[in-house]
């Protein structure tokens, strides 16, 4: 397991606060109510470990297959439905949405290899990520990857807690399947907009892994 570079600053701040707060607590209360100091130490240590865990990148064997669409994020499939995309395609698409809880790995990966033909950041609200309106009203970053005559839109969506979307892609860039496309901090959601008729390999409420689970076939 390694730590994602997006977490270095957050982990450093959390560690610094942990040290300062516990030194202060032990200094003032250590000789009178030691149990309070120990309890506070345990709680703050758990918080630091949670921050470290959030930015983890676990070692895993990625699924590489040109004929398959690979899941871009860890989490649970919360939406499988046909919808009208008003942002890019202007037509009906098959939407597959993956909700990432704060306990999930939050690295986002390219579902296919190809060329980035669209990349757009949108300001917005911070509704809970499982709210259906979050796809169109929340802060989000949309990317379209084209492979031959197939185009797939990947939408990173901020949730009620997540308020920083990081995206590493640029229009015209050639990308490889399962390479990092971005990161979302602290709870979020990723939508995939696929061609109607795409054969899916996942079901509603299924737990999926980014870079590993096969969403569907091209």
Across the strands, what pairs with 28? none
Segment (H or E) for 34? helix 34-54
Token match 């379209």: residue? 144
Catalytic annotation on 97?
no
Do 206 and 195 form a contact (C-beta atoms < 8 A)?
no
Across the strands, what pairs with 194? 94
Token match 């202060």: residue? 24
Going by C-alpha positions, the residue among 7, 109, 99 that lies closest to residue 53 is: 7
Query: Active site residue: 97, 134, 142, 188, which one?
Result: 188
Torsion over CA: 108, 207, 99, 55 (sign): negative
CB atoms within 10 A of CB 200: 15
Q: Which residues are catalytic?
A: 188
């Amino acid at each position: 397991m390694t730590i994602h570079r997006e977490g270095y600053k957050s982990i450093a701040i959390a560690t610094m606060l942990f040290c300062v707060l516990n030194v202060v607590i032990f200094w003032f209360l250590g000789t009178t109510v030691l149990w309070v100091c120990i309890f506070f130490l345990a709680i703050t240590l758990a918080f630091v470990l949670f921050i470290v865990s959030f930015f983890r990148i676990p070692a895993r064997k990625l699924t590489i297959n040109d004929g398959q669409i690979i899941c871009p994020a860890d989490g649970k499939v919360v939406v499988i439905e046909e919808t009208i995309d008003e942002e890019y395609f202007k037509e009906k698409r098959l939407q597959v949405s993956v909700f990432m809880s704060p306990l999930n790995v939050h690295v986002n990966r390219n579902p296919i290899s190809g060329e980035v033909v669209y990349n757009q950041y949108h300001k917005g609200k911070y509704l809970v990520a499982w709210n259906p309106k979050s796809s169109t009203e929340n802060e989000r970053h949309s990317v379209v990857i084209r492979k031959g005559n197939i185009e797939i839109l990947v939408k990173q969506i901020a949730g009620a807690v997540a308020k920083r979307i990081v995206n590493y892609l640029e229009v015209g860039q050639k990308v490889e399947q399962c390479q990092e496309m971005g990161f979302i901090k602290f709870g979020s959601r990723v939508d995939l907009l696929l061609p109607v008729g795409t054969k899916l390999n996942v079901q509603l409420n299924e737990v999926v892994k980014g870079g590993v689970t096969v969403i569907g076939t091209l």
